[in-house]
Amino acid sequence: MSALQTLLRTRVHGKASPKGWVSFNCPMCVVNGQSRPDTKRRGGIIFSPDGGVSYHCFNCNFRTGWMPGWSLGFKMRKLLRQFGFDEADIQRLSLELLSQADLERLVKREPELQWQPDWPEFDPGFDMQPIKDPVKLKYLEERQLLDLAVWLETDYDFANLNKRILLPYVYDNKLIGYLARYVGELPPKTSKYIRKAPADFVFGLDHHKAQRQYVIVSEGEFDALFTGGVSVGSNSISQRQIQLIEELNIEPIVIPDRDQAGRQLVERAAEYGWSVSFPEWEDCKDVADAVLRYGRLFAVYSILQAAEHSPTKIRLLGRKYCQ
């Protein structure tokens, strides 16, 4: 019996079904947006012989699980909090499971991922070099972006690429695409951004190999640079992008752009039980605007402080802020 099973059995009581599921009133329903607590025993947990745990509620559809060799994920932490365990208990358990996981890795392989990105190396078809253009350097300095990434430029004039700053997309130490942002007054019928990226790409994944408490998820790459987080590249998010972010085993906090398009990302986050942040920023459409107005440190701090966990409140705030 694993330490997690031992801890949960102190709060979970009931007779197991022939298939092994123990049913009880789900503690997550109200947290996940239901209007009233579960009274029909629609939460179910099963303890596997190898020490694993699986949980599923047939009312609010909250799911989580743990297997030997895994670290304690953010969804399991949420469930433990709703069971009434304090942060000290959860932290002790997390450290104990982490020690067990280290031992597991010595005797068996890591659990295989559902999907492993195999993004091919990208050949842009033109030369790129570090930025020397003073106009582009001034733009990056004024936007407080200069020291946050490796910025490139090109002399290639197709699609006005020579008038753009280039942010390389790198994963697993190889170039797999780029973002090109026009600098200066935008000509008519010209796109401000040009993106060349593989399907399901998440910018910033390489920065999150080490364990952190939160990962801030934004729409745009510049916002991700300011927060040290990740970007999904648009206001929509694919199932594979969700998988890649959840496999970081860090609690995601989504910071949507404050426009109507941002509502789509808010709805997706609420559907998957992610937190969403709506800081009280004045006249700021996104993180980049907030950094210019308040400074980077305060902008990131306010994102963490304003994180909302209830899907119902998230959807209500989404209608208020994203319009």
| Spans of all domains in the chain | 3-107, 129-196, 205-321
Closest to 199 in 3D by CA, of 167, 241, 142, 230? 241
Closest to 211 in 3D by CA, of 119, 92, 74? 74
CA 28 to each of CA 62, 149, 166, 177, 248: distance values in angstroms, whole numbers, following the listed order: 7, 40, 44, 41, 22
What value does the mean pLDDT take over residues 301-321? 88
CB 286 within 8 A of CB 258: yes
User: Which of 70-79, 80-89, 197-206 has the least mean pLDDT?
Assistant: 70-79
Q: Is the pLDDT of residue 110 over 70?
A: no
pLDDT single digits (tens) 121-153? 999 999 999 999 999 999 999 999 999 999 999
Residue 276 has a pLDDT of: 93
Residue 68 has a pLDDT of: 83
The sign of the CA dihedral 9, 15, 21, 27 is: negative
List the end-to-end C-alpha distance of the chain, in Å, as a whole number.
Answer: 50
Quick check: helix, strand or coil at residue 176?
strand
Its pTM stands at 0.72
Chain position carrying tokens 């890649």: 244
Quick check: helix, strand or coil at residue 218?
strand
The more confident residue out of 304 and 1 is 304
- The type of residue at 294 is Y
CA distance 220 to 318: 18
Question: Strand 152-153's sheet: what is its strand order?
Answer: 129-130, 152-153, 164-171, 174-182, 193-196
CB 140 within 8 A of CB 168: no
List the beta bridge partners of residue 203: 231
Quick check: helix, strand or coil at residue 257?
coil
Residue 106 has a pLDDT of: 41
Q: How confident is the model at residue 95 (pLDDT cuts 50, 70, 90)?
A: confident
pLDDT single digits (tens) 208-239? 655 677 899 999 999 999 999 999 999 889 98
pLDDT single digits (tens) 40-61? 999 999 999 888 899 999 888 8
Q: What is the DSSP letter of 16?
A: B
Query: Under CATH, to which class is 205-321 assigned?
Result: alpha beta
Q: Is the pLDDT of residue 311 over 80?
A: no
